[in-house]
Chain A
Amino acid sequence: MADKRMTEDEAIATLSDGMTIGIGGWGSRRKPMSLVRALLRSPLTDLTIVSYGGPDVGLLCAAGKVKRLVYGFVSLDSIALEPHFRLARQNGTIPEVVEYDEGMLQWGLYAASLRLPFLPTRAGLGSDVVKNSPFLRTVSSPYADGEELLAVPALTLDAAFVHLNRADERGNAQFLGPDLYFDDLFLNAAAPGRRFMSVEKVVPTAELLENGTFHTMKINRSMVDGVIEAPNGAHFTNCQPDYERDEAFQKEYANAAKDPETWQAFVDTYLSGSEADYQKAVASR
């Protein structure tokens, strides 16, 4: 049986410039931030990022890593607007932007996970989503109704990052919070080989059911290639019930983003070293 444990940097080393990376979580909730921080440390560039966006998107935009951004929204939840994402959009520094309805994003991931070229929906029709993404096409129902529907193209990923609460070393995992979000779809939309899952804690398989009911075991090992043990790895986003969002730190992050100098100081303090350095800097505040 394969032991899939690895480090963030080992996961990032399998990626190349120009790849499409899907990032799980939702807004500023249970984001695989230690993997995002490893991506920030890497020389990788020209990435396509697919996300229900939070600080993952903000940080990658601020670092100039994003060539194409696909999102339904970008928000820090308790702070409605993501400052780096705003700046990047307002300064025109993201070359290609695909703004979807939240449900369209789910549909694109789901289509990819089912190996379908598209899935039909009404969501998006009539809105400026269609105008702003002119590659989108409609499809007519072949049945008597003949209705014209939006064909959301499969969002096939080269790599996926998600963060869960517990997993065994083979990649069977569970979420213990209120919502899986769309993490299973992100994993299933990605090519086998680069489906990376960080977790708060790696436990023996038998221990999984001690933490929660079988209903929490939505991720099985066929969906995962790499398991990264990353305690506090979702910081500063939340990872319920292990921890809540670090609101004070999120405020510090958002305030620092307002000015290039304060942002550089933030980067120097928190983002210039390893994940261990980051966690140490966070703990010593």
Chain B
Amino acid sequence: MSDITLGEICVAAVADTFRGDGEIFASGMGTIPMLGARLARATFEPDLLVSDGEAFFVANNLAVGGTDKQIEGWVPFRSVFDTLWGGRRHVVMGASQIDAHGNQNIANIGSWDRPKSQLLGVRGAPGNTINHTTSYFIGNQTNRVFVEKVDTVSGIGYDRAAELGDWVKAHHEIRRVVTNLGVFDFNTPDHRMRVASVHPGVNLSDITEACSFELVIGDDVPTTRMPTDEELAMLREVLDPKSFRDRELPA
């Protein structure tokens, strides 16, 4: 298939973060993360549970914005909290800021006492990151998003988790960060962020320029994989026929 878009590459990269997760709740905040979870379940990770974004697990391949739901379970927010505190979840959240250790901020920009810009508050990020695997999707990576130090630590990174004892160390995992430029992970000895792959058409220098900290860069950084024909067909014909996937990305 031709004319593969950045949105489609990002959805496949998000889907890959759920590889091997098995029978847990694959949760995505925003269009591309939600599509990534649904695509993973529709293709290589069939045991995942995915939700309608409201209060139900859906068994069918529900389109973004679709209402034709085959409900397989009821998950009101209280059940979501129970599931996440029980560890049976992997969430892909957004991040207004993220640092080299994976500390994430969605609360505010500037000082917390008197923010320059108030955002959402910490939402579920502290509880998510301490209880189960978390990944992030960032649609517009810049050096003001990839920062030396986040203004308010909402989701905790590896340096903070390391100070919290054995249980947390055993359960905390920031698996990957997917952006419009590339894919990042923390598979380094000191869990500092590493460039895992660069999206097709993007240069490493584009990535380092859009980052305020020093990224770990291996000798041979691969290119992010293209979605397969099967994935593209599922995405274009079933999961996102109205092409919401490119609207979260810079034009």
Contact = CB atoms under 8 A, between A and B. Distances in A.
Interface stretch (A80-88, A195-203, A255-263, A273-281): A80-88
B122 A100 contact: yes
A81 B119 contact: yes
A20 interface: no
A145 B124 CA distance: 26
Interface stretch (A38-46, A126-134, A165-173): A126-134
Interface string B115-141: 111111111111101110000000000
Interface of B: 54-56, 74, 76-78, 81, 84-85, 107-108, 112-127, 129-131, 152-156, 160-161, 163-165, 167-168
B160 A127 contact: yes
Interface string A28-64: 0000000000000000000000000100000000000
27 contacts: A73-B120, A73-B123, A74-B121, A80-B120, A89-B114, A90-B114, A92-B113, A92-B114, A101-B122, A101-B123, A101-B124, A101-B125, A101-B126, A102-B127, A104-B126, A123-B85, A123-B130, A124-B126, A124-B127, A127-B125, A128-B122, A128-B153, A128-B154, A129-B126, A147-B165, A179-B54, A181-B77
B152 A126 contact: no
With a 10 A CB-CB cut-off, give which of A89, A145, A147, A181 has the most chain B CB atoms. Answer: A89
Contacts of B164: 125-126, 148
Contacts of B165: 147-148
Interface string A66-86: 000001111100001100011
Given A92-B114, A127-B126, 13 more contacts: A71-B121, A85-B118, A99-B121, A99-B122, A102-B81, A106-B81, A123-B126, A126-B163, A127-B125, A145-B167, A179-B76, A180-B78, A181-B76
A88 to B, nearest CB: 8
A127 to B, nearest CB: 4
Query: Which among A75, A80, A129 has the highest number of chain B CB atoms within 10 Å?
Result: A129
B167 A126 contact: no
A127 B76 contact: no
B127 A101 contact: yes
Contacts of B122: 72-73, 99-101, 127-129
A225 B127 CA distance: 34
Interface of A: 26, 53, 71-75, 80-81, 85-86, 89-90, 92, 99-104, 106, 121-129, 132, 145, 147-148, 178-182
Nearest first, the 10 closest Cβ-Cβ pairs linking A and B are A123-B127, A178-B55, A89-B118, A127-B126, A179-B76, A126-B160, A101-B126, A73-B121, A126-B156, A103-B127
Nearest to A88: B118
Nearest to A52: B77
Contacts of A148: 164-165
A129 B130 CA distance: 13
B153 A127 contact: yes
Given A127-B160, A128-B112, A90 B118 contact: yes
Nearest to A103: B127
A147 B120 contact: no
Contacts of B115: 89-90
Contact of A90 (B117, B121, B161): B117
B56 A103 contact: no
A114 B138 CA distance: 40
Contacts of A132: 112, 152
A72 B156 contact: no
Contacts of A86: 117-118
A223 to B, nearest CB: 16
B120 A74 contact: yes
A126 B130 contact: yes
Contacts of B127: 101-104, 121-124
Contact of A26 (B77, B108, B152, B156): B77
Contacts of B152: 128, 132
A30 to B, nearest CB: 12
Given A74-B120, A99-B107, A178 B56 contact: yes
A61 B197 CA distance: 45
Contact of B123 (A102, A122, A124, A145): A102
A124 B153 CA distance: 10
A174 to B, nearest CB: 14
Nearest to A74: B121
A90 B84 CA distance: 32
Contacts of A71: 121
Nearest to B156: A126
B121 A126 contact: no
A43 B168 CA distance: 48
A129 B107 CA distance: 10
Contacts of B153: 126-128
